Amino acid sequence: MGTPQCLLRKLSWIGYLTGTAGVGYFFWIHKAHVAQYIPYLLLVACPLMHLFGHGHHGQNHSKCSSKGENNA
């Protein structure tokens, strides 16, 4: 069993995939209504991706190594 950080990372990926599927479904069902707002959605998405996508700077990403080696 992995560390709590590994479990949290896996659960966050599951959450991202579920959210992406939900947004895709919403766009598929309401594409006539949403199509007119796509340029605005892109403009809003850029700063949000910048804010939330840079949360892992300076962290060691090898904490979930399955071999248990110390990569220091």
- Asked if residue 59 has pLDDT above 70, the reply is no
Q: Which residue has the higher pLDDT, 25 or 34?
A: 25
* Whole-angstrom distance, CA of residue 41 vs CA of residue 39: 5
61 and 9 Cβ atoms separated by less than 8 Å: no
**Mean per-residue pLDDT, 41-62:** 75
Mean pLDDT of 50-72: 61
Check residue 68 and give its pLDDT.
Answer: 53
Indicate if the alpha-carbon torsion angle 21, 25, 28, 33 is positive or negative. Answer: negative
Contact 10, 67 (CB under 8 A): no
Which residue did the predictor score with more confidence, 2 or 9? 9
